[in-house]
Structure 1
Amino acid sequence: MTTAVEHFAAWLNTPLGQYLRDNEAGWFDRTTVDIFGYKAVQLELPQLDCLRANRMPWRCIAGQSGGVQLKCMAEALPFAEQSLDLLVLPHTLDFARDPHAVLREAERVMMPEGRVLISGFNPWSLWGLRRLKANDVPWQGHFLALHRLKDWLALLDLQLVRGEFLCYRPPLQRKGWLDKSRFLDSAGDKFWPAGGGIYCLDVVKRVHGMNVIEPDWSMVILPNRSTAAVVEKMRLQAKKDRCK
């Protein structure tokens, strides 16, 4: 049986879907390129390779849709506790049966200070209004409100580091209209920054009681002025001796 996320993957080939995919691919490239570690996993949507710019030695696309490298359920991941450095959820929460259970699994498998990247549809946008008159993909997804998602993350000690809104053009399938409304992407960030059709979140797993160990600079012995003067005097004397 074809799942909702597979229908969404097929929708990405439409003009509007391609517009979304290009914008999200750019954000994931910019964000993952500077995330380091050993193991990175993307859940669902192999058509959108979110890990292509990342340089971790072990990367995998998992999920239930066709084309994934590892078959599993997002609500029951086959990874040990605290075993992943990066987990990417491209619209995984939008089409999961239990989005909160997916986040609980994300918290379980992430290393302390590990990163979770999330993209989802913004219900408070023109894209969110579109779902009121449509029953097909992708408009029947959960469209989780950002404030609700932030509450879930806080309960799991997953801290939002930064976020970005994308896709300010109206959700129209005609490529000509999408091209004509290109200016809205740059104007959106200035005039209605929270009105993008898509939000992208960069989240880190915080562990209480952990402290970053820094060098004890008080133990570093620096040469004083008198020592430096002696060294300079010796250098000059050696130079004179060579010139004789």
Structure 2
Amino acid sequence: MSIEKQEQWLASPLGQYLQEQEQALFDRVVHDIFGFNAMQFGMLQMPLLRHCRIPYQFNADVANGLIRCVSHQFPLQADSLDLLLLPHTLDFSEHPHQTLREAARVLVPEGHIVITGFNPVSAWGARRLASDHDVYPWDANFLSLMRVKDWLALLDFEVVEVTMACHMPPFRNSSGHGRLGRIERLGARLWPLMGGVYFVLAKKRVVSMRLIKPAWNKSKLKAGLLPTPTQKTDIQKKHE
């Protein structure tokens, strides 16, 4: 993915519309998550951690940010992040499942991950089918929400919240947005699962170990450490 193409599209009316919708979702969620370390990978044009109260925050991307790396190979220690933001990272990752594996590795137990992605079952997905797949952002993976949730479950994440955004059809010009602005408000009520973008908040769960305790009640020691007489022993005593 070209950073220049991404910046050019984000500066367009459609790109600004997407940023406005997603920024509001990130601002609301990150404000209530606490910890020590938070990282945003990708879409660095958007200050998605601006309302986060975690003290140490940094950005990463393939060619920009404090850390430069690919999303499926984070140069971070295991259990080192309390919050990880992946805005459309899975959409443009060559190995999206491995990206989530890396997220699970670097997050602390009870750490949070926030994901946004393009919804293939939407007007945006239909636009992708009718567009050149070499043009940003229609060259994205467009992974289904169900697949992302399945991957999260396999990695022991608990989905805390799912929200849909960008219900307006992906028109190019701002006049189209003005005429159809009410579609955004109606979309959340009438077709909530048809938004062009899904927003997922999930928490890393760690399966706790189950301790096997000795069954003390079933194996109490008898006084004097004498064995309990059996029925056969009693009969033998009578014959004697």
TM-score range, shorter chain: 0.7 to 0.9
Residue 200 of structure 1 corresponds to: 199
Structure 1 residue 179, shift from structure 2 partner = 1.1
Residue 151 of structure 1 corresponds to: 150
- The one-letter code sitting in structure 1 at the alignment partner of 2:165 is L
- Please give the alpha-carbon distance, in whole angstroms, between the structure 2 residues aligned to 1:120 and 1:130: 15
Asked if the contact 1:5/1:44 (under 8 Å) is kept, the reply is no
Residue 92 of structure 2 corresponds to: 95
SS at match of 1:51: coil
Residue 53 of structure 1 corresponds to: 51
Aligned length: 208
- Please give the alpha-carbon distance, in whole angstroms, between the structure 2 residues aligned to 1:176 and 1:115: 38
Identity of aligned residues (%): 43
SS at match of 1:86: strand
- The one-letter code sitting in structure 2 at the alignment partner of 1:84 is L
- Please give the alpha-carbon distance, in whole angstroms, between the structure 1 residues aligned to 2:163 and 2:19: 15
Asked if the contact 1:82/1:112 (under 8 Å) is kept, the reply is yes
Residue among 127, 131, 134 paired with 2:131 = 134
Asked if the contact 1:43/1:89 (under 8 Å) is kept, the reply is yes
- Structure with higher Rg: it is 2
Residue among 105, 117, 125 paired with 1:120 = 117
User: TM-score, normalised on structure 2?
Assistant: 0.84
- Please give the alpha-carbon distance, in whole angstroms, between the structure 1 residues aligned to 2:122 and 2:15: 16
Provide structure 2 residue ranges, at least 5 long, that are not aligned to the other structure: 211-240
- Please give the alpha-carbon distance, in whole angstroms, between the structure 2 residues aligned to 1:174 and 1:9: 17
- Please give the alpha-carbon distance, in whole angstroms, between the structure 2 residues aligned to 1:191 and 1:29: 25
Asked if the contact 1:43/1:63 (under 8 Å) is kept, the reply is yes
Provide structure 1 residue ranges, at least 5 long, that are not aligned to the other structure: 212-244
- The one-letter code sitting in structure 2 at the alignment partner of 1:51 is L
Please give the residue correspondences for 1:28-39 in structure 2 after superposition, counting only pairs within 5 Å. Answer: 28-39=26-37
Residue 84 of structure 1 corresponds to: 81
Residue 19 of structure 1 corresponds to: 17
RMSD between aligned alpha carbons?
A: 1.3
Asked if the contact 2:63/2:69 (under 8 Å) is kept, the reply is no
